[in-house]
Homo-oligomer: A and B are copies of this chain.
């Protein structure tokens, strides 16, 4: 089944990609952009078909590989 893991920088951690996007939007004439944060989304296609087991597997993957927990937080969505 498909599982999706979002990985975002924690609040307070400098996000140069987000700052670059915000500046570029301003240069293109978009106004009213208060803040931009950029993160990663990882879509996993797992053989596991049980939602709770798949969620547990994806959580372990996020903790071990997908997110750097010092500076990033993650969210698992089924």
Contact = CB atoms under 8 A, between A and B. Distances in A.
Contacts of A32: 46-48, 57
A18 B6 CA distance: 14
A43 interface: yes
Contacts of A30: 57, 60-61
Contacts of A60: 30
Interface of A: 6, 8, 18, 21, 24-25, 28, 30-48, 57, 60-61, 64-66
18 contacts: A8-B41, A18-B42, A25-B61, A28-B65, A30-B60, A32-B46, A32-B47, A32-B48, A32-B57, A33-B44, A34-B45, A35-B44, A35-B45, A36-B42, A36-B44, A39-B40, A39-B43, A41-B41
